[in-house]
Amino acid sequence: MACHIVMLGPPGAGKGTQAKQLAAARGIPHVSTGDMLREAVQSGTPLGKRVQAVLDSGRLVSDEIVADLVRERLARADAAAGVVLDGFPRTVAQAQTLDALVANGDALVVVDLAVSAADLIRRLSRRRVCQACGTIVALNDDDDDGRQACVECGGALVQRSDDREEVVRERLAVYERSTAPLVGYYRERPTYRPIDGAQAPGAVAGAVAGAIDEAAAVIGQER
Ligand code: ADP
Ligand code: ZN
């Protein structure tokens, strides 16, 4: 039986950072729909071209496109024990799709990272990504943007095109409208766990690990 971990939360809450670490620690795949969509854009396929315009607007890609990506990804052999889902589901329709995909008895643990809107805007404006290895870094107030290099590989740090302020505001509005209702969808489940995402990354990671252990214990009792 697989146990999938869903990382929920607004853009900039730290889902990507936490999901990556968690997946590495548990030895299961990190499945980020944002990364998959950006890869489609990079590959220049017809799908990628359509997706690029949506990403740059800050809106959501259609439920059908992401559902297809996730369905295919979860069917792969390395997903059999579970994956960390990052950025999916993002709408109630996607959550229903996910419930149908795991209807064979797989468990879902939903970790919801909460961060205030002011913090999110500040974090996203400082977020940079290594062009070579994908490592996410936060610039300090006094960092000179142009002279930063990735600590992991020395690669160039760039700002995601959708982290520009105008797009960030739209992404936060889309989150409130389309993704925040997911909390109501999941809240009554015993495996739903809200976490304070405003803490330092290490503290968040500890809280996430604890929450997953608690939720796993609940699942164990139900079986
Ligand atoms: P963040 O969580 O920081 O907003 P992501 O990398 O998860 O960043 O997503 C970037 C963009 O990719 C979103 O703004 C959206 O346009 C698109 N996207 C990612 N996941 C989904 C999804 N499940 N449904 C629809 N669009 C998505
Ligand atoms: Zn790097």
Q: Which of 131, 29, 41 is nearest to 81 (CA)?
A: 29
Scored b (16 or more CB within 10 A) or e, 90-125 reads bbbebbebbeebbeeebbbbbbbbebeeeebbebbe
- Encoding tokens for residue 2? 């697989």
Output DSSP code: residue 164.
Answer: S
Q: What is the pLDDT of residue 145?
A: 61
Residue 145, H or E segment: none
Q: Are 49 and 61 in contact (CB under 8 A)?
A: no
Tracing tokens 């209702």 back to the chain, one arrives at 181
Verify whether ligand 1 is closer than 6 Å to residue 4 (CB atom): no
Report the 10 Å Cβ neighbour count for 180: 12
Tracing tokens 């302020």 back to the chain, one arrives at 165
pLDDT digits (tens, 9 = 90+) for 150-161: 989 999 999 999
Q: Are 94 and 66 in contact (CB under 8 A)?
A: yes
Q: What is the pLDDT of residue 143?
A: 66
The mean of the pLDDT values for the chain is 92
User: Is the pLDDT reported for residue 221 higher than 90?
Assistant: no
Verify whether ligand 1 is closer than 6 Å to residue 55 (CB atom): yes
pLDDT digits (tens, 9 = 90+) for 85-107: 999 999 999 999 999 999 778 89
**Nearest ligand to the C-alpha atom of residue 52:** 1
| Ion ligand 2: residues, Cβ under 5 Å | 130, 132-133, 135, 150, 152-153, 155
